[in-house]
């Protein structure tokens, strides 16, 4: 009993620590359906078509000729949606069809410095072949002397991360809904021999309809069997990756277990404010479950968050079917879910219609030097397909 108390105390302390580290978000819990106007779930049914007769509104800089069909002149910058290690993601509007897109920008120099050239080219190549209802779609790419650009669907509902922080934890049914959609996205990726390698709530966006869209394929990798690279996000990394052993798709099922745990508990199971300690915790793999976890959730998580990969759920003879058939998912009709015919637990509040970005945090804007073509393009040869 006393052991249980201290576990709970430890859990609460970690939770507080985690919440403060993860900053922000003052809005009250939001898990009821919004009654906002029902726009079509996607405004982006057709690919944006550059039309020569329309004048760009953003910049008059000359356009670098690239393999991509677009240039910065085809888009008007609206605001920053998020920042990443090598650049930022902007909300942009096509000057041709007036539709909104997310434009992910990588600074070539930073990508090269961080030795991420291969990952960046992989991200473009992988996104170009993916078409799935729960995965963000990419429409095109281009580059200038300093940056490379990916044009993607704009997903208006913000990050699942923000929703989870506002709600602190998700009720079992809500966590199950998001987990089930993520599972279908991972199943699709694995069927194409792609390991995602960066599952976490920050990379799960919510569409206007409330369905998920997986984004950020910066660590995704096409592999026949095993790979080696150390990558991912500390709390979500599988022990075999930390141990620098060859690993396979099972790393995504480990992270899937961590994601479910975090949605139910509001904190990841091996959390520590020091990443090194987090790695140690992962390697030890001593996991404790808060008292409110349901029995079948504990059982499922015990199967997914399993150090020995040969016994990990999703990596056994029946593959993903073992997870889909687990009792925690017993109400899920997978075929219906894939068709998007299931009511979502939460519809993001998007008050001002198409192009609304109120679900995203504000970031300071800068003077962007996009579209520069008259400087030496030192690194362009490393990104031949953009
Ligand atoms: N298609 C999109 N629609 C709306 N917002 C997006 C989209 N893609 C990315 N974002 C926003 O931008 C943020 C950063 O995007 P992303 O994770 O792809 O960048 P990154 O540079 O790979 O980041 P990191 O280095 O942290 O992994 C996302 O967390 C999200 O808030």
pTM of the model: 0.83
Strand partners, 79: 91
Helix ranges (H only) for the chain are: 2-21, 108-113, 117-129, 160-167, 172-191, 239-242, 250-265, 275-284, 295-304, 321-324, 334-338
> Ligand 1: does its nearest atom lie under 6 Å from the Cβ of 135?
no
> Ligand 1: does its nearest atom lie under 6 Å from the Cβ of 159?
yes
Pairing of strands 138-143, 194-195: unpaired
Question: Active-site positions?
Answer: 198
- What CATH topology corresponds to 72-154? Phosphorylase Kinase; domain 1 (3.30.200)
CA of 148 to the centre of ligand 1 (A): 15
Name which of 329, 321, 259 is nearest 296 in CA terms.
329
- Give the domain ranges of the chain: 72-154, 159-339
Torsion-angle region of 168 (φ positive above 0: left; ψ -120 to 50: alpha; else: beta): left
> Ligand 1: does its nearest atom lie under 6 Å from the Cβ of 155?
yes
Give, using CA atoms, the residue closest to atom 20 of ligand 1: 84
Please name the CATH architecture into which domain 159-339 falls.
Orthogonal Bundle (1.10)
CA of 217 to the centre of ligand 1 (A): 10
Q: What is the ipTM of this complex?
A: 0.96
Q: Which numbered atom of ligand 1 lies nearest the CA of 153? A: 1
User: Is 33 within 8 Å of 346 (Cβ atoms)?
Assistant: yes
Per-residue pLDDT of the chain in tens (386 residues, 90 and over written 9):
333 334 344 444 444 544 443 333 222 222 323 322 222 222 222 344 433 322 223 333 333 334 557 899 999 999 999 998 888 999 999 999 999 999 999 999 999 999 999 999 999 999 999 999 999 999 999 999 999 999 999 999 999 999 999 999 999 999 999 999 999 999 999 999 999 999 999 999 999 999 999 999 999 999 877 777 777 889 999 999 999 888 899 999 999 999 999 999 999 999 999 999 999 999 999 999 999 999 999 999 999 999 999 999 999 999 999 999 999 999 999 999 999 989 999 999 988 888 999 999 999 999 999 998 888 899 999 999 89
In angstroms, the CA 386 to CA 141 distance is 5
């Amino acid at each position: 009993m006393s052991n249980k108390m201290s576990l709970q105390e430890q859990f609460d302390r970690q939770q507080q620590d985690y919440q403060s580290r993860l900053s922000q978000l003052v809005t009250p819990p939001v898990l009821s359906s919004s009654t906002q106007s029902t726009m079509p779930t996607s405004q982006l049914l057709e690919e944006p078509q550059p039309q020569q007769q329309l004048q760009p509104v953003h910049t008059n800089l000359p356009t670098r000729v690239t393999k991509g069909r677009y240039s910065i002149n085809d888009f008007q910058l609206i605001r920053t949606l998020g920042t990443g290690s090598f650049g930022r993601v902007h909300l942009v509007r096509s000057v041709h069809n007036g539709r909104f897109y997310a434009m992910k920008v990588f600074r070539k120099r930073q990508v090269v410095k961080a030795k991420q050239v291969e990952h960046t080219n992989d991200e473009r190549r992988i996104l170009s072949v993916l078409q799935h209802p729960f995965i963000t779609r990419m429409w095109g790419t281009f580059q200038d002397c300093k940056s490379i650009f990916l044009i993607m669907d704009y997903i208006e509902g913000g990050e699942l991360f923000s929703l989870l922080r506002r709600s602190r934890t998700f009720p079992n049914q809500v966590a199950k809904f998001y987990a089930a959609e993520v599972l279908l996205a991972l199943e699709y990726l694995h069927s194409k021999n792609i390991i995602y390698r960066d599952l976490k709530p920050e990379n799960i966006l919510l569409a206007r309809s409330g369905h998920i869209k997986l984004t950020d394929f910066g660590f995704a990798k096409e592999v026949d069997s095993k790979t080696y690279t150390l990558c991912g996000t500390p709390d979500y990394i599988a022990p075999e990756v930390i141990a620098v052993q060859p690993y396979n798709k099972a790393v995504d099922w480990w992270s899937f277990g961590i994601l479910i745990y975090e949605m139910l508990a509001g904190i990841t199971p091996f959390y520590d404010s020091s990443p090194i300690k987090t790695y140690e915790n992962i390697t030890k793999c001593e996991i404790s479950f808060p008292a409110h976890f349901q029995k079948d959730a504990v059982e499922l998580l015990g199967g997914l968050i399993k150090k020995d990969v040969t016994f990990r759920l999703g990596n056994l003879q029946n593959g993903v079917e073992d997870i889909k058939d687990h009792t925690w998912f017993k109400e899920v009709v997978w075929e219906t879910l894939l068709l998007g015919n299931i009511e979502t637990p939460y519809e993001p509040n998007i008050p001002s219609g198409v192009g609304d970005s109120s679900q995203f945090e504000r970031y300071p804007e800068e003077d962007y030097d996009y579209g520069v073509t008259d400087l030496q393009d030192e690194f362009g040869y490393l990104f031949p397909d953009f």
